[in-house]
A and B are shown apart, each in its own frame.
Chain A
Amino acid sequence: MASKDKNIRGYGSGSVDVVMSVDQVAKEAAAISASAPKKSDLEKLIKSDPFLTIHDLKAGYGKMEILHDFNLTVGKGESLCLIGPNGAGKSTVLHSIFGFTNIFSGTITVDGNDVTGLTPSQKLSNAGIAYILQDKSVFPQMTVEENLLMGGFLKNKPSEAKAATELVFDKYSRLADRRYKPAGVLSGGERRLLEISRALVMQPNVLLVDEPSIGLEPRFIDMVFGILEDLQKKDGKTIIMVEQNAKKGLAFADIGYVLVSGETAIANSGDKVLSNPDVGRLFLGG
């Protein structure tokens, strides 16, 4: 796993010669979707019992349905990466798990418990699910420590948030060294580390990570994926990720799903999705 990650640095390399229009990609992707994986295929991809499962979900914003009978399953301590064109509904999957969307039908279960109807704050405090925002979500004027304490505002007592914050500082000396500095002075990579750590304050089992690479320089991309790998492998966190830096995301994740127009067109191990020539041409830039 570690050696595999080293093959893809930053955003990866390669040519830019495959030029396809949005419509052309959509058309060819629709053809692939015809042989979309079944629920039983998805279950074969996980190595342990299902931990987080989405069953036949119809969800969207307002009255608009974006996900159509969407299914997903991931085992405890496993990682899954969603890739696909802009507007395919990848972020909507994360939003639905966390409770930001309108769910029209279907269920979401975590560790056997139905969490479909819980609010985001209930998800965070009771269901062990944390959502790591896409970008620029630190409070720049507040110190690193205050940012982490904000991550614990749902705790019953401030002292519990304080204790969890100390655990984060024990884990990441880079943040501990800067605990009294305003978050605004952190580098891009440290800021992303702070965003991830702030989510850890609630001690979640499931991390929903939205585009960890976005806006980051190549070195920090490798660093952030190293941190996520550590959280998965050492701390047993279950990670569901959306990543436009699809090569890096697929190299990282145990399982890869390709989403097209709100449905899963391809699902396989991360490696197999990464080496699938159709995926390369349509979604990885050739």
Chain B
Amino acid sequence: MTDIISVKNVSKSFGGVKANINVSLNVKNSSITGIIGPNGCGKTTLFNSIVGYHPIDTGAIEFDGQEIHHLPVGDIARLGMLRTFQQTRIYSKMNCVDNMQISVSHRKNSNSNIFASRKGEIKEKAEHLLEFVGLFSKRNLISGDLSFGQQKLLEFAMALMNDPKVLLLDEPTAGINPTLINGLIDRLRKANEEFGITLCVIEHNMRVIMNLANHIYCLANGKLLADGKPNDLQKDKRVIDAYLGGH
């Protein structure tokens, strides 16, 4: 498998705080890659660097073989890499279908068809994806009235409207009821298997990440501490000491 994301020796500081120090990691195409580590270890900073939210100090980031660390957020999104947030970001006064329709991608539009009417097609896709995440029966409800777990599902479906190649998910299951977490994981796996979307997931919930990811990186104090398969990493003394807690 080829790498779709390559992070090479990336460092990023905020004032005197070194959030990422010489971090290198690779996300294989079509994989589900996990990122774990203590609060404040630089996981979200790394995500922000990858999607171009802020410039990096040193190092390089490649997406699909192309250097992207100098590109702005919009350009990187148009290449097919999107992120979701710890707190949901939806348009809370609009209904679900409308939320979906304004999330539609423009990256496949050429200049000639940009004004062409695709309305019917977009709505059909929106409804199909709402069905995929289990929100079809709620499609005409105002999204702000959905429960938090359902808003997370909506946000995931909105990201899928863009046909991303890679989705970066920042704590997708935080604040969701454990049984509904299983449903979300099931959808994430299907998005990976059926739509071929590469997933890169930050999680603190070990039940989630150990069952979901093929490969996991653990950061600590801004540096890469360890990486490996879920079962190996769970037994790694460095990871237990720095993150998982004593046994």
When C-beta atoms are compared, the residue in chain B nearest to A87 turns out to be B147
Is A283 positioned at the interface, with any CB of B under 8 Å from its CB? yes
- DSSP majority for the B interface? helix
Instruction: State whether B180 touches A286 (Cβ < 8 A).
Output: no
Most chain B CB neighbours (cut-off 10 Å) among A9, A211, A285, A286: A285
Q: Answer yes or no: A60 CB below 8 A from chain B CBs.
A: no
Partner of A22, one of B39, B183, B205, B243: B183
B48 → chain A closest CB, angstroms: 17
Contacts of B183 in A (CB 8 A): 19-22
By size class, the interface of chain A is 35 or more
Chain B residues within 8 Å of A99, by CB: none
A112 contacts the other chain (CB 8 A): no
Select A16's contact among B38, B134, B175, B208, beta carbons within 8 Å: B208
* Chain B nearest Cβ from A165, distance in angstroms: 25
- Size of B's binding interface in residues, CB under 8 A: 36
Interface of A is mostly: loop
- Complex-state Cα separation, A241 to B150, whole angstroms: 22
Distance in angstroms between the alpha carbons of A214 and B204 in the assembled complex: 9
Cβ of A211: which chain B residues have Cβ within 8 Å of it?
Answer: 175
Interface 0/1 of B142-166, CB less than 8 Å to A: 0000111110000000000000000
Instruction: List the one stretch of A35-43, A125-133, A142-150, A217-225 in contact with chain B.
Output: A217-225
Restricting to B146-203, which residues have a CB under 8 Å from any CB of A? 146-150, 171, 174-183, 185-186
Verify if A17 is at the interface (C-beta below 8 Å from B).
yes
Supposing A18-B182, A19-B186 touch, asked if A219 and B243 sit within 8 A by C-beta, the answer is yes
B110 at interface (Cβ–Cβ under 8 A)? no
Query: Residue A244 contacts which of B178, B182, B186, B206 (CB distance < 8 angstroms)?
Result: B178
Indicate if A25 sits at the interface (CB-CB under 8 A). yes
* B244 interface residue (CB < 8 Å to A): yes
Which A residue's beta carbon lies closest to that of B185?
A16
Min CB–CB distance A214 → chain B (angstroms): 6
Assembly CA distance A17 to B148 (angstroms): 22
Tell me if A20 and B175 are in contact (CB < 8 A): no
Bound state CA distance, A281 and B171, in angstroms? 23
In the complex, which residue of chain A has the Cβ closest to the Cβ of B146? A87
Q: Among B148, B179, B204, B243, which residue has its beta carbon within 8 angstroms of that of A285?
A: B179
B144 CB, min distance to chain A CBs, angstroms: 12
A16 CB contacts on chain B under 8 angstroms? 181-182, 185-186, 207-208, 211-212
Min C-beta distance of A238 to chain B, whole Å = 25
Per-position contact with B for A242-286: 1 when CB-CB < 8 Å, else 0? 001011000000000000000000000000000000000111111
CB of A145 to closest CB in B, whole Å: 21
**Is A187 positioned at the interface, with any CB of B under 8 Å from its CB?**
yes
In the assembled complex, the Cα of A83 lies from the Cα of B180 at a distance in Å of 13
Say yes or no for A189: interface residue by CB 8 A criterion.
yes
Q: Mark B202-232, 1 if CB is under 8 A from A, else 0.
A: 0011111011100000000000000000000
Q: Is the CB of B207 within 8 A of A218?
A: no
Find out whether the CB atom of B39 lies under 8 angstroms from the CB atom of A215: yes
Verify if B137 is at the interface (C-beta below 8 Å from A): yes
> Given the complex, which residues of A lie within 8 Å of B175, measured CB to CB?
86, 211, 214, 244
What is the CA–CA distance of A11 and B36 in the complex, to the nearest angstrom?
Answer: 14
The answer to whether B180 and A217 touch across the interface, beta carbons within 8 angstroms, is no
Q: How far is the CA of A188 from the CA of B171 in the complex (A)?
A: 15
B101 within 8 A of A: no
> Are B207 and A215 closer than 8 Å at their CB atoms?
no
Q: List residues of A (1-60) whose CB comes within 8 Å of B's CBs.
A: 9-23, 25
Mask for A73-100, Cβ within 8 A of B = 1, else 0? 0000000000111110000000000000
Contact at A214–B174, with CB atoms within 8 Å? yes
Contact across chains for B39 and A188 when beta carbons are under 8 A apart: yes
Q: Which of A12, A215, A283, A284 contacts B204 (CB 8 A)?
A: A215
Can you report 25 A-B residue pairs in the complex whose CB atoms are below 8 A from each other?
A: A11-B208, A12-B207, A16-B181, A16-B208, A16-B211, A19-B183, A20-B180, A22-B134, A23-B137, A87-B148, A87-B149, A187-B40, A188-B39, A188-B40, A215-B171, A215-B174, A218-B206, A219-B38, A219-B243, A281-B179, A282-B179, A283-B178, A285-B181, A285-B182, A285-B207
Q: Nearest 3 A-B pairs (CB), nearest first?
A: A188-B39, A87-B147, A285-B178
